[in-house]
């Protein structure tokens, strides 16, 4: 029964994601159609900026307007010029994005320059304020060390991030429990209203349960809501649906 409860909870916390280079309108339609309201509804769908309007339309057709639409900027390597990133952000907001997942220019941080990452987050936050949540992807698997992950979190939080997100899902190491522990402790120490998203590598309900337990342990059970915690995932949905369906038989 615990697995069933974790499956239901994880689904409600999920950013159902499709960020593949070959994504087209059919792929986005398939993503939206994979939502089965009889089993539960995700918190958001996450798509490339050019598919925001389509995702909004398809969700509305299915009377799922309450599902947020998230998109990505400075994706995936975090190396785009700030001017380009801000232009992407403005277009995404105009298209109706509810959440912006910004890749921190983490290479700059590794090189000893925290000011550039701060500027990217702070400038993006200025555009998003009152319009959309800003989720900052720190790419924790590349940062590797606890010190760098902590610094990335501190910079993002100081610059106005609404969420800290582990990963793009496009590098060898994505979300890990160790990185999650470091990030959650940073958020807790900051005493700011900052949330968390584990992205990439969470493929089963059992794995999701480990993240839920860790989060509850550090932040408390009140944190297990879509306002505070998200999973960025695609393949996780299959295991969630199978788990819920099996438990109901």
- What residues are annotated to the active site? 101, 165, 197
Cα–Cα distance between 169 and 83 in angstroms, integer? 24
Quick one: CA dihedral 216, 150, 163, 45, positive or negative?
Answer: negative
Are the C-beta atoms of 35 and 64 separated by less than 8 Å?
yes
Cα–Cα distance between 4 and 191 in angstroms, integer? 32
Cα–Cα distance between 150 and 65 in angstroms, integer? 36
Cα–Cα distance between 55 and 59 in angstroms, integer? 6
Peptide bond into 233 cis (omega under 30): no
């Amino acid at each position: 029964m615990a697995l069933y409860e974790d499956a239901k909870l994880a689904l409600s916390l999920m950013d159902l994601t499709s960020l593949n280079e070959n994504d087209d309108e059919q792929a986005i339609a398939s993503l939206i159609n994979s939502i089965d309201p009889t089993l539960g509804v995700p918190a958001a769908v996450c798509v490339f900026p050019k598919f925001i309007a389509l995702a909004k339309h398809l969700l509305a057709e299915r009377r799922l307007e309450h599902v947020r639409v998230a998109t990505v900027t400075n994706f995936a390597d975090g190396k785009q010029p700030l001017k380009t990133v801000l232009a992407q952000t403005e277009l995404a907001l105009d298209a109706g994005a509810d959440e912006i997942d910004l890749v921190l220019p983490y290479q700059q941080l590794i090189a000893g320059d925290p000011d550039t990452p701060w500027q990217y987050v702070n400038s993006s936050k200025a555009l998003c304020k009152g319009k959309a949540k800003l989720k900052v992807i720190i790419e924790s698997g590349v940062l590797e060390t606890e010190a760098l992950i902590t610094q990335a979190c501190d910079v993002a939080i100081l610059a106005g991030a609404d969420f800290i997100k582990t990963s793009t899902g496009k590098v060898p190491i994505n979300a890990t429990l160790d990185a999650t522990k470091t990030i959650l402790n940073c958020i807790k120490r900051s005493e700011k209203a900052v949330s968390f998203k584990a992205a990439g590598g969470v493929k089963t309900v059992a794995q999701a349960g480990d993240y839920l337990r860790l989060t509850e342990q550090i932040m408390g059970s009140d944190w297990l809501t879509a306002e505070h915690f998200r999973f960025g995932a695609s393949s996780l949905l299959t295991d969630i649906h199978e788990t819920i369906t099996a438990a109901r038989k």
